[in-house]
Amino acid sequence: MDVKDLCLGALTYGDATGYDLKKFFENAFGHCFLAGYGSIYPALAELTAEKLVTARRVPGQAGPSRKLYHLTTAGRRQFLAQLETVEPQHKVKSEFLVLVHFSHLLPPQRLNEVLDRHLQEIEQKLALMEACEPRKARGTLPSAGARFAFGFGKAMMTAAREYIRTHRHSLISGGNGTNPSQKPTRLRKVAQAVSRNRGYPNA
């Protein structure tokens, strides 16, 4: 599932410009799938070439010349097929957690900054989601799926916030800083602690 598919999906809700799509992605998928203009416009060009969408120029109007994209029947069919065949992955890439993992190598002040900033970001995103909540916002997205995905995001962020709030003390109390007085952990032991790992592909 790439940006092209996401565009097809978004266009099931109606015609839109590349610019609209970006905004839509921020509102509807901000917590689970971001895409920038640098991905969207090339994606739309390819989709047009594949006849999965059609482009219609809308010159007059307010603002600069726009290009309204429209989902074709083939495009809709392809999207539905895609939905049935992709294996739904859920990946987290968190430099934040890596940093925290190594908090014993961090100056306490920096650690606090990192923690505070992360809490702030969570608060911010939560507020943003609140603002375009499916049920009450104008231009509602009423589908049960949209509500579920939204609620999921909110649940995750709330849980993250709670965890940080209730556990951050454990990071600061355990006298850290530049103190190298711990008996070194052997990496190889840790690596082999759990042998047969089903669940992680090679590559």
Partner DNA sequence: AGATCCATGTAAGGCGTTACATGATTGC
Partner DNA sequence: GCAATCATGTAACGCCTTACATGGATCT
> Least CB distance from residue 51 to a second copy, whole Å?
20
- Binding segment toward a second copy, per CB under 8 A, in 47-55, 56-64, 85-93: 85-93
CB 140 within 8 A of CB 134: yes
Element spanning 55, H or E:
strand 53-58
Which residue type does 91 have?
K
Question: Is residue 62 close enough to count as binding a second copy by CB under 8 A?
Answer: no
165 binds, among DNA, a second copy, none (CB under 5 to 8 A by kind): none
* Token code pair at residue 11: 């266009």
- Residues written for the chain: 203
- Binding segment toward a second copy, per CB under 8 A, in 43-51, 52-60, 132-140: 132-140
> How far apart (Å, rounded) are the C-alpha atoms in residues 110 and 163?
19
- Binding segment toward a second copy, per CB under 8 A, in 44-52, 54-62, 143-151: 143-151
> How far apart (Å, rounded) are the C-alpha atoms in residues 133 and 84?
27
> Least CB distance from residue 87 to a second copy, whole Å?
8
3 binds, among a second copy, DNA, none (CB under 5 to 8 A by kind): DNA
> How far apart (Å, rounded) are the C-alpha atoms in residues 194 and 127?
40
Write out the residues near DNA by the rule CB under 7 A. Answer: 2-3, 17-20, 23, 34-39, 41-45, 62-67, 192, 195-196, 201-203
Question: Is residue 59 close enough to count as binding a second copy by CB under 8 A?
Answer: no
- Binding segment toward a second copy, per CB under 8 A, in 41-49, 51-59, 84-92: 84-92
> How far apart (Å, rounded) are the C-alpha atoms in residues 84 and 186?
45
CB 108 within 8 A of CB 176: yes
* Token code pair at residue 85: 């065949």
Query: Alpha carbon 52 to chain centroid distance?
Result: 25
Nearer to a second copy, 45 or 158 (CB): 158
* Token code pair at residue 10: 């978004």
Question: Is residue 55 close enough to count as binding a second copy by CB under 8 A?
Answer: no
45 binds, among DNA, a second copy, none (CB under 5 to 8 A by kind): DNA
Nearer to DNA, 181 or 202 (CB): 202
